């Protein structure tokens, strides 16, 4: 009976010690995941650079709106009802 009590006490003390060590390790850990930088707020239309892919064929859903180059995201897109839709 004494051996059982001794083993139970050792298990409890060991568990508390392991918990304290884990808690102290967590408190001193380095910062975790950092969110990626925020992309540009909106399209910044301009001239396509020389390395840019050629302007794609206008999609049928563009309703005749011209495609423009977005300098922030570096791709082609169409303005439709005040919303910029990338067409790559």
Report the percent of the chain where pLDDT is more than 90.
17
Q: 3-state DSSP call for residue 17?
A: helix
Distant-in-sequence, close-in-space partners of 42: CB < 8 Å, separation ≥ 6 = 72, 84
Domain ranges of the chain: 1-34, 42-88
pLDDT for the residue numbered 22: 65
Tens digits of per-residue pLDDT, 42-76? 678 889 999 999 999 889 999 888 899 988 888 89
pLDDT for the residue numbered 71: 87
Supply the mean pLDDT for the chain.
79
- Residue 25 pLDDT more than 70? no
Question: For 15-29, what is the mean pLDDT?
Answer: 65
* Phi-psi label, residue 43: left if phi above 0, alpha if psi -120 to 50, beta otherwise: beta
CA distance 75 to 67: 10
């Amino acid at each position: 009976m004494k051996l059982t009590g001794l083993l139970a006490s050792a298990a409890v003390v060991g568990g508390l010690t392991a918990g304290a060590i884990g808690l102290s390790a967590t408190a001193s850990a380095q910062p975790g995941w950092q969110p990626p930088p925020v992309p540009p707020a909106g399209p910044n239309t301009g001239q396509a650079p020389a390395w840019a892919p050629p302007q794609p064929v206008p999609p049928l859903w563009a309703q005749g709106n011209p495609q423009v180059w977005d300098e922030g995201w570096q791709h082609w897109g169409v303005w439709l009802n005040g919303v910029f839709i990338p067409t790559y």
